[in-house]
Amino acid sequence: MAYHVEFVEPVRAYLAGVEGLSPTDRAAVVNGVIEELSHDAERFLALRPLAHESLCFLYDYPHPTEQAMYDFDFVVDASHLEMGVVQVVYVECSRRPMQ
DSSP conformational letter for 80: T
What is the pLDDT at residue 98? 80
Q: Which residue has the higher pLDDT, 99 or 81?
A: 81
Region 55-76: mean pLDDT is 96
In the chain, where the domains are located: 4-97
Residues 6+ apart with CB under 8 A from 37: 3, 5, 44, 59, 76, 86, 88
Q: Is the pTM of this model over 0.85?
A: yes
End-to-end CA distance of the chain: 40
Please, what's the b/e burial string for 71-82 (b: 16 or more CB within 10 A of its CB; e: otherwise)?
A: ebebbbbbeebe
Distance between CA atoms of 98 and 39, rounded to whole angstroms? 30
